[in-house]
Structure 1
Amino acid sequence: MSVDFPVPSLRALLVPACAVFLFAGCGESAPSNGARGQAPAAVVTTAVVAPSPWQDTISALGTVKARESVEVTAKVSETVERVHFESGDEVEAGATLVTLSGRQQQAALEVAEAAAREAEQQYRRGRELVQQQLISRSQLDTQRATRDAALARVAQMRADIGDRHIRAPFAGRLGIRQVSPGALVTPGTVVATLDDLSRVYVDFPVPEVHLARLAEGLPLAATSVAWPGVEFAGEVSSIDARVDPATRAITVRGDFPNPERRLRPGMLLQVELGHASRQALVVPEIAVVQVGRETFAWRVTGEGTVERAMVRVGERRAGAVEILEGLAAGDRIVVEGTGKLRPGMAISDAAASPATGEGNGSGDGAGG
């Protein structure tokens, strides 16, 4: 006996299989397009741009000059008899530094003085004889002229002897001694240098673009590699009347007290000329990125991403820079971590702080 089983149709077989497949697939969700390939947020440090006090400064290199400076020299040709100083001595004005031999001049002075005394006696006797009408008036005039010539000769000899005493023209510090007893000196021979170091001048060039901002009495601050960590305070004492046509700069002279004699003529100083303080947008220098000719900062948008803000900078000083254009007060910028940013990248703020340009550490550098 045969039994006929019903043959299921193709439709009846496919429907349950599809249902099982769809049911199994519902247990996992397919990755969305937004999650696929999205970079993680960059961890950075940001700051808010805000106005802060800013003092314009002009920096320049200056050379120290003594208030008074001279090379002490001999006026005559003679042998050094005695040296009255040592190298580096402080001397008063008029102090004798070197005595030259002058025996011949002293003897000649004695002869001239004797001749002057004789001429004076002849003149006095002539006046008595004129009153007695024993000699003419013309003879008395001749005797007067002889007397005057003798006195002039005496004055000349005394001046000649005075030239054999080389004296300090002003008070100051002597340099290295250049002569010794017994040496023959001639006119122009340098005995030593003499500098008045109680106050010194510092001459430095300033570009003509700053000419309108220059004035006497402006404060100066100077530093020297010879005295690390020491700042010398002074003020502008004079401004040159001419601008150098070759460099387009004008020479400014600063006056610096020097009670400890630390500053010496010829030293090189870094001079900063300050002006009145003003309000400016100042940000840390590490927040400004330079790529080619482009200068920009990374500004944080409202969506938590960054964008490039092209800026124009002004003066730079001690890790801070003045922003002239491109940013406004209240903008939040990236200070540290600029080297890993790209436009539109999401960020995570590690530590927000006011953008004052002070007290910020170094970041990842200026990257593009």
Structure 2
Amino acid sequence: MTKRMLIMLGCVLVLIAALALGFFLHIKELIANSPKPGPQTVTAAVVSALEWQPQLSSVGTLTAVHGVDISSEVAGQVRTVNFKSGQDVKAGEVLAQLNADLEIAQLSSLQAAADLAAITLKRDQAQLAAQAVSQTQVDNDTADLKSKDAQVAQQQALVAKKTIRAPFTGRIGITTTNPGQYLNPGDKIVTLQAIDPIYVDFYLPQRQVGALSVGQVIDASSDSYTDRIFHGKITAISPKVDTTTRNVQIQATIANPKHQLLPGMFANVTVDVGEKKHYLTLPQTAITYNPYGSTVFIVKPAAAKNGAPATPQQAESLEVQQAFVTTGDTRGDQVAITSGLHEGQMVVTSGQIKLKNGTPIVVDNSVQPANSPNPTPQEH
């Protein structure tokens, strides 16, 4: 009985082994006959050395060389408004006239009193020569004339304040002041801005102050004029560093003859510093940034398998090899490579997500990633 059971058990084991072998051979055949993945399509660029001008970048604010909200020093009713919103005016030009009838009448009265005091002084001086009056009388007359003249000057200043003039040449803003309106002292009439030239104020870290000097050229751009670069010069460097941010304020002056730049706008400012350098350069899209380091995929001819000589087809095919690189400064769409590559190597610039070491590729550069040192928005 035991012998028969052993024979049956042996037969079962042999059957299981045969089935397992058959299944293994079937899977092996399926794997062997499965379609091989084709080469991946990527874009690639040759590593080249380009000339770089080291730059400092910041975001600044445009401010007027002279800017003020014009208001009245005295109360009064607006008689005339002599400007239009947005108009350019000259220094000293009359902008508005307040009603000054009462003040002018008082000025006439004070002027008459001053004239009488002058006549009295002249008459008493003549009488003093004939010893008809005392020196004290002449002294009193002189003091009275000075007092009357001072009152006239004070009233003249009050009348002059009723005439609102432009303190400097510039462009008028938009006003809501109208004839007949009553103004209290300090009420805003209109803003006046001198915007040619115009200032741009920006901040840079204290460690970069040593590279700056008055007279240095700056370039500024605004999103209002995407195709225009405005050139200027540094005219002032603050003698004090902000203790909160450790930044120093820089002021540059930009010519603005067409009044394109307006106070309050922001501008991207760059300052050229130091001598030009040569860096190996790639589009930033070529770099894969990882926690363990930055990598690129280098394009090279496909290697022969198992040490066999390469066939003509293999000699023409390409594959990739991943390599670590050290990146440096960035400039627009470009990044500098300080180590890990040498000039002339071809590197994948897009399509890396589907690659690994040894992946066959096809390079198609019909659509290239952006690679401009000074990119501008594609949509206007």
What displacement does 1:324 show? 2.9
CA distance in 2 between partners of 1:296 and 1:245 (Å): 39
What displacement does 1:55 show? 1.5
What displacement does 1:302 show? 9.1
Is the 1:46–1:349 Cα contact (8 Å) retained in structure 2?
A: no
Map of 1:140 onto structure 2:
138
Is the 1:44–1:347 Cα contact (8 Å) retained in structure 2?
A: no
Aligned partner letter, 2:241: V
Out of 233, 236, 243, the residue aligned to residue 235 of structure 1 is 233
CA distance in 2 between partners of 1:45 and 1:266 (Å): 43
What displacement does 1:267 show? 1.3
CA distance in 1 between partners of 2:267 and 2:198 (Å): 12
Is the 1:222–1:232 Cα contact (8 Å) retained in structure 2?
A: yes
Aligned partner letter, 2:277: R
The reply to whether residue 209 of structure 1 matches residue 223 of structure 2 is no
Map of 2:219 onto structure 1:
221
SS in 2 for 1:342: coil
- Residues 228-287 of structure 1: CA deviation (Å, up to 9, x unaligned): 323222222222222222222222222111111111111122222233422222222222
Map of 2:284 onto structure 1:
285
Out of 124, 127, 146, the residue aligned to residue 126 of structure 1 is 124
Is the 2:89–2:166 Cα contact (8 Å) retained in structure 1?
A: yes
User: What are the residue-to-residue correspondences of 1:1-368 with 2, within 5 Å?
Assistant: 46-275=44-273, 276-299=275-298, 306-329=320-343, 331-343=345-357, 345=358, 350=363, 358=371
Aligned partner letter, 1:341: L
Against the structure 1 CA distance between its residues 209 and 130, is the aligned structure 2 distance closer, same or farther, given a 3 Å change threshold?
same
Map of 1:22 onto structure 2:
none
CA distance in 2 between partners of 1:316 and 1:221 (Å): 17
Is the 1:234–1:255 Cα contact (8 Å) retained in structure 2?
A: yes
Larger Rg, first or second structure (1 or 2): 1
Aligned partner letter, 1:338: Q
Against the structure 1 CA distance between its residues 64 and 157, is the aligned structure 2 distance closer, same or farther, given a 3 Å change threshold?
same
Q: TM-score under structure 2 normalisation?
A: 0.76
Moved more, 157-166 or 308-317: 308-317
CA distance in 2 between partners of 1:178 and 1:191 (Å): 8
Is the 1:178–1:190 Cα contact (8 Å) retained in structure 2?
A: no
Aligned partner letter, 2:144: T
Against the structure 1 CA distance between its residues 359 and 110, is the aligned structure 2 distance closer, same or farther, given a 3 Å change threshold?
closer
Moved more, 249-258 or 96-105: 249-258
Is the 2:59–2:268 Cα contact (8 Å) retained in structure 1?
A: yes
CA distance in 2 between partners of 1:293 and 1:286 (Å): 18
CA distance in 1 between partners of 2:71 and 2:253 (Å): 28
SS in 2 for 1:176: coil
SS in 2 for 1:180: coil
CA distance in 2 between partners of 1:359 and 1:38 (Å): 38
Moved more, 124-133 or 60-69: 124-133
Aligned partner letter, 1:56: P
Moved more, 272-281 or 107-116: 272-281
CA distance in 2 between partners of 1:358 and 1:104 (Å): 73
CA distance in 2 between partners of 1:309 and 1:208 (Å): 36
Moved more, 296-305 or 185-194: 296-305
Is the 2:71–2:189 Cα contact (8 Å) retained in structure 1?
A: yes
Aligned partner letter, 1:297: V
Q: Matched residues, percent identical?
A: 30
Is the 2:302–2:360 Cα contact (8 Å) retained in structure 1?
A: no
CA distance in 1 between partners of 2:261 and 2:202 (Å): 15
Is the 1:42–1:348 Cα contact (8 Å) retained in structure 2?
A: yes
CA distance in 2 between partners of 1:123 and 1:56 (Å): 78
SS in 2 for 1:311: strand
Give unmatched runs, 5+ long, in structure 2. 1-34, 304-318, 374-380
CA distance in 1 between partners of 2:95 and 2:44 (Å): 69
What displacement does 1:79 show? 1.0
Against the structure 1 CA distance between its residues 135 and 222, is the aligned structure 2 distance closer, same or farther, given a 3 Å change threshold?
same
Is the 1:40–1:346 Cα contact (8 Å) retained in structure 2?
A: no
The RMSD of aligned alpha carbons is 2.9
Q: If each structure's helix is expressed as a fraction of its own residues, which one has the higher value?
A: 2
Against the structure 1 CA distance between its residues 293 and 113, is the aligned structure 2 distance closer, same or farther, given a 3 Å change threshold?
farther
What displacement does 1:72 show? 0.5
What displacement does 1:293 show? 4.8
SS in 2 for 1:239: strand
What displacement does 1:41 show? 6.7
